[in-house]
Amino acid sequence: MQIPAHGKSHANVKAELEAFAARDATWRDGKTLGYIYDAGPEVEEIAKWAYMRYLTENALAPATFPSLMQIENELVAMAAAHLGDVPGVVGNFTSGGTESCMLAVKTARDYARAMKPHIEEPEAILPVTAHAAFQKGCHYLGVKKVLVPVDPKTFKADPAAIVKAITPNTVLIVASAVSYAHGVLDPIEDVARIAQKHNLNFHVDGCIGGFLLPYFKRLGAKLGAFDFRVPGVTSMSMDFHKYAYCPKGASVLLHRSKELRRFQMFVTSDWTGYTIVNPTIQSAKSGGPMAAAWAVLNSVGDDGFMRFAERIYQATQTIVEGIAKIPGLRVLGAPDSNQVAFTAEDFSCFHLIDEMAARGWGVQPQFGYHGSEANVHISIGQKTFDQANEFLAALREATDACRPKGFSQIAAKVKSELSRMNPADFKPAMLNDLMRAAGIEDGQLPRKSAELNQILNVLPPKVTEFALIEFMNERYLYREKK
């Protein structure tokens, strides 16, 4: 494919893009319970206006566009006030939770380089429920990830396991407020005391829950302390583009002090061009996301977000209680937030993904790992309040339809065969056989995903990672239309 020899009309370009979009999830109906955060048309309207107003302005150059520095500083101040209102807390706007988490890893690594130069191979302690963005940060930044188990019933971080994992090379401990997979709040105060005792950086990941939890507390939820009011918490991340309903990508990374924040930044004048000063990972970046976040926070206001939070809180209670009443289904843990995971007793829960899709609902598969059974994950939004009973009715129907399906014989065979081999011996040719068994031909996903998910679920994590890299490497290829 080449750039068109002659430009197309705007009408044709728009028509082609709309044709592409026709294959996507119809998320405006509120039935896509993951990836999308929709506050409705009024919020979307002001967000789009602000985004387009600052679409071209470049946040790399605050001297040229000082309004963007003002907007960023105000966003950070609002975030800091929301997470404890502790004097001295500083931060920066980022493109999303992954960037915030990766920068938390960088800050801890570079702080250790300066303050603990004897550490040559830094380590970060991550509960297995910590978001994968921290593993990505460790991978990119040369920090060894040290995964530790969590409580097998509550899925909360285990302070004893964290203590056991500390070595002279440890530079960072991570906990979640809340964890994405199960929506539970880790024992932040207990972990903070451990971090203080060992003089370690302690990051609380509030990307998915940090914005909602203060509202849930005000609504009466029994939650432990989790923000900068807890001594020992050195940094926090919180996304605006989730339950503050701002356009992607909008997140913030906060530090307890400017002294810590300086290790987040990158600066160089060691080249022939202009001096590079990057508080975050990106250099040139549109002012659109930042301006849109500012516009949404100011137009919705605390009272508006409280109304959204109350709808989410009540919808979550309705759905968790409703799932518990469906024979054969079970919620994993006791969610402290609106992230809910549930599994099935007598059949593969992955069949529910397909059956719910057939009923118009988008839910997410999560593979079994470290005591967390294979499960279905949902992110409950403010729109779900009006549809909670409809969701439960569809789930009851889907569960009845799934009962006769049982478990995959192919997945059981794969598991048996893999138990007799070293995962390191897994070869691409074996992957092709697995893909065909799962119904994948020519890199195209099958219409139903239960077989594929059951096979991936029984693979060792390293084999799953290999398989998905190979699969995605084939997917991201332009193919001429037949």
Going along the chain from its start, the domains and CATH numbers come out as 50-296 (3.40.640.10), 302-405 (3.90.1150.10), 409-475 (no CATH)
pLDDT at 443: 57
pLDDT at 415: 74
Specify the pLDDT at position 421.
65
- Spatial distance between the Cα atoms of 391 and 394, rounded to a whole number of angstroms: 5
**DSSP letters spanning 297-331:** HHHHHHHHHHHHHHHHHHHHHHHHHHHHTSTTEEE
Tokens of 454: 């059951």
Residue 441's pLDDT band (cuts 50, 70, 90): low
pLDDT tens digits along 70-82: 999 999 999 999 9
Q: In what order do the strands lie in the sheet with 123-127?
A: 90-94, 251-255, 235-239, 201-206, 170-176, 123-127, 144-148
* Res. 326: pLDDT tops 90: yes
CA-CA distance, 241 to 249, in Å (whole number)?
6
Q: In terms of Cα–Cα distance, which of 164, 191, 196 is closest to 177?
A: 191
Burial of 73 (0-12, 13-18, 19+ CB in 10 A): middle
- Given 3-state DSSP classes, what are the helix, strand and coil percentages for the chain, each rounded to the nearest 5? 45, 15, 40
What is the mean pLDDT of the segment spanning 255-270? Answer: 97
Please answer whether residues 332 and 153 qualify as being in contact, where contact means their C-beta atoms are separated by less than 8 angstroms. no
Q: pTM of the predicted model, to two decimals?
A: 0.93
State whether the Cα torsion 358-359-364-367 is positive or negative: negative
Distances (CA, A) of 419 to 324, 406, 412, 414, 456: 34, 22, 11, 9, 14
